[in-house]
Amino acid sequence: MTGANRSGTTWMGNVLSLAVDVAYVHEPFSPSLDPAVSRIPTRAHFTYGTTLDPVQRAALDRLLAGRLPNPSGWRRDITAWKPFGMGVREVGRALGRRRRRVLIKDPTACLLSPAVQAATGGPVVFMVRRPEAYVSSITRLGWGFDFAVWADDDQLMDLLGDVAEEVERAATTDLPVFDQAITIYNGIYTMADRFRQDHPDWLFLRHEEMAADPLETLPPVYEQLGLAWTPEVARAVDRDNVRAPSKDIAPAEFRTVVRQSSATVDTWRSRLDDDQAATIRSRTEAVASHFYDNA
């Protein structure tokens, strides 16, 4: 389960993991994790690759087998500062993955999707979101990006085509987050379109369609993934969506508050003025049009 950050991957990962035989793993490739316990070491967000290195592959294999991916680092970390309860929880999660299908949810590894699939053989679900929604969310959170990660990757830059020049400028210029977000969008979705052409078996799901009516849109996805859509799953999806708050939340709460899925579809309209929305559309149209007719 992947896609650009802020594209609904957490929500979709959570609703798919409602299936009784699915164990959810949250962002194991994220370089933001403490290095001592990082499940699968990755040098930066949004790195590109078609294969995993031996260290990454070994950690992934351990994770899928229901073991601690980095046991020596984990033990060192747990004795240094982590509360004992957190260590017990980590072990419990590892045991819970045994004999179950593992759902890896990780937008930070969206450009590693071919490598992850090659290593696991499992299906890939790639979430897609409108550029206005993406840029408004990243800008609101103030999340910048080190474009040298892309600019220094000759293979990736060749694949980015016309967007490569935009990335080069971003790597050498101190851009506002608004402009950075536009370039991130163009880079990720240029590659997403390539992935879609190269991997017709992957599922590319538009966030707006999935979130607007999850009880209608989720059952076909469950079926395609070989998951059981049960009355219990339907009730859980409906209950969480109805009970969750519908209003926009403060940036500081984005990790702790889950909103109604349907309420997230058009949030960008209240965050952007007309000029900002028009700027985003004009600067992303060539890329977003691969996924949205009216982008």
- Structural domain for 145, as ranges: 130-198+265-294
- Answer yes or no: is 259 within a domain: no
Residues 176, 208 within the same domain = no
Residues 27, 87, 120, CA angle at the centre, nearest 5°? 35
Q: Report the pLDDT value the prediction gives residue 86, as an integer from 0 to 100.
A: 52
SS (H, E, C) 110-178: HHHHHHHHHHHCCCCEEEECCHHHHHHHHHHHCCCCCCHHHHCCHHHHHHHCCHHHHHHHHHHCCCCHH
Tell me whether residue 121 is exposed, middle or buried, using C-beta atoms within 10 angstroms of its C-beta: 0 to 12, 13 to 18, 19 or more: exposed
Residue 45 inside a domain? The answer is yes
Say if residue 119 is in the same domain as residue 146: no
User: Same domain for 134 and 7?
Assistant: no
Confidence of residue 32 (pLDDT cuts 50, 70, 90): confident
Let me know if residue 220 belongs to a domain.
yes
How far is the C-alpha of 16 from the C-alpha of 233, rounded, in Å?
A: 9
75 plus 147 within the same structural domain: no
Residues 6 and 39 both lie in one domain: yes
**Whether residue 12 is found in the same domain as residue 154:** no
Angstrom distance (rounded) from CA 219 to CA 231: 11
The SS3 assignment for 104 reads: strand
Number of C-beta neighbours around residue 243 at 10 A: 9
pLDDT in tens, 145-155: 999 999 999 99
Residue 95 sits in the same domain as residue 115: yes
User: For residues 128 and 240, which has the higher predicted lDDT (pLDDT)?
Assistant: 128
Question: How many structural domains comprise the chain?
Answer: 2
Q: What is the pTM of this model?
A: 0.86
Phi and psi dihedrals of 175, rounded to 5? -90, 150
Mean pLDDT of 87-112: 79
Clarify whether residues 151 and 269 are in a common domain: yes
Contacts 24+ apart (CB under 8 A), 79-82: 80/36, 82/37
In a domain, 260, yes or no: no
pLDDT value at residue 90: 63
22 and 75 together in one domain: yes
